[in-house]
Structure 1
């Protein structure tokens, strides 16, 4: 099939999503001269359909190590299709590319570990161009061609360097380090929030750009934005979501000089959506502490090193518990599906074992009594959410009803830190890490407020106060009693 014939056949084609999905893909393969799906273990239609017992699998088309592909009908919601693929990426063995198409538009989203996501969009009428033909063939032959050139850590280091320079300039002008840190942490979160769509597009960048010639007016506008984020409301005729969480309760904007404004504007133009939370602790260190002369990141403990502790302390024991539960669930589900006497009870017991494990994860607590900027807490929370997500997918594959939400959250991690700005940065690290995980895996982040209060990441001396007050971990953020196991660990210096 020629590109012209392909375009002519599928332009304004009235076939429904179900009727046209496989036919569209088969024609695409014909046009590109690549094999069609024929191997249920490596390259097939409806991956996961037989395991879930549903007519629709985890992906419309799947190619191991290459892509997961979800088709929609004409005008179909590609954002929703992408969220579905992201939710099931783990069950699809984490393909490096996630592709969504409603025929008129085909979007290729990169999903490589450790790199920011990039999107390549191909319109149906442009499918015949040499560039687009090459991209479509790479899906089948060479997915590495889509790997972004820069890693998340590269981008984070650049961003951190810009903020460190601003902090150094403000410190040299005599501003208190705590005030600088609080203000710049608020700015950082605004940049992150606008790049993931929690603030109106480029809201913070537009404020700086518009007011950059008048430092006093800029300070007033930034303070007004922070105030709107504190409780939700109106700013520049746009609705601002309710963020709360304590980050914007105290507003004390540092009035900037032109060089600082210019640096902040340049920082705001960067993409903060994929910022690596575990490096944020070094973001302010050079600028706020004149004694620190080491290169940015010199004191940074990489995630791999931290996971050497998180793995055996948090992940492995909980994995063993879930494996034990699955061994019991399997026969119970088989009995339920076979029907007959006792089948309903077996089904209920299987579901109860699954829900009991989710409750176990929800009540699990990790304490870092010297949490610094929160790296250990963030990675522990990420691990717990991974465990819950895996349990959900496993349960669905076994034939149970999976939960549609993820309940492990910042309530699962507790911290003590003697340095006030490090404690605040730890909260932001956990907030950002939580939001990134939810969006990456196809879940919506929490709303009203977006940021849960993290009073259980405390600014105090662990050696003195922790032994004097141990009741602070008995309730969650909503005041509910908890009785979960606590793992206590701290990142090595």
Structure 2
């Protein structure tokens, strides 16, 4: 990539071409992603509409990967510090949900790149296109390799709790609750039927959300399926069909649409049995899409495994999850569910809860 873009940049200088931003930005980001074996066409990344905090005006972000990175490309010789401030202006504008905020900002004039890590341990790095390969380690977050601090993990757990609470409320309504205290029912017959159904569906959805980010299948496959293959009216039946596919070995599948055929067989019983979809509401798809834009690998496996339990509490939902987001409290809530989890995979952990 460095050699190809150096040749192109030298050509621009020879011909005096300066207005390169709009013509070449998308190609630059695509090439950068492909360097890390990310297929950009499989993710909705380019020209995200956004509001600027400073003016209230509308604009668009060149490159936006929810929860991962924001990119702005400017013409040769432009001020990258100003471009970085523009990126932050978009983030502060209110049109990008906090659960979507990226950990990294990349700004470039194609020849020089400024890379910033946001969050609890920020840093800034500048290098030229010729030095791109020398900084592969700092760019490995594009391939899913990054370090999350404890403070960032705790903040992510709060965001995750809010998102899962939103899904649960959209599915089952705010009046359906069970206790999360010592008095919580342990027999399924003591729980409300709708709550039981919601619990099963929440577990399955959480697995799919996490799988999108954890490499269980191609990146954002579930997100794209919800975005392009469902509507508010057919989400329930479509989810039932997807669960059936996930519970069927590849050798026994026939005549599946291309997107469904890309999902692997998931053993362990998490998708075994009928799925409840009749109680989904019009708000369910919006809540699910919001959750799809979150990076679920930013939370710990213990928090991941516990999330669907916690959002069934009215107190947790009304408090946006803050009361239940410490890992200590989560492990107390789960009790025997997490005993023996040491050394198990995410799939096994989720299946044990299911």
**What TM bracket, shorter-length normalisation?**
0.3 to 0.5
User: TM-score scaled to structure 1, two decimals?
Assistant: 0.35
Higher relative contact order (CA 8 A, sep 6+): 2
User: TM-score scaled to structure 2, two decimals?
Assistant: 0.47
Larger Rg: 1
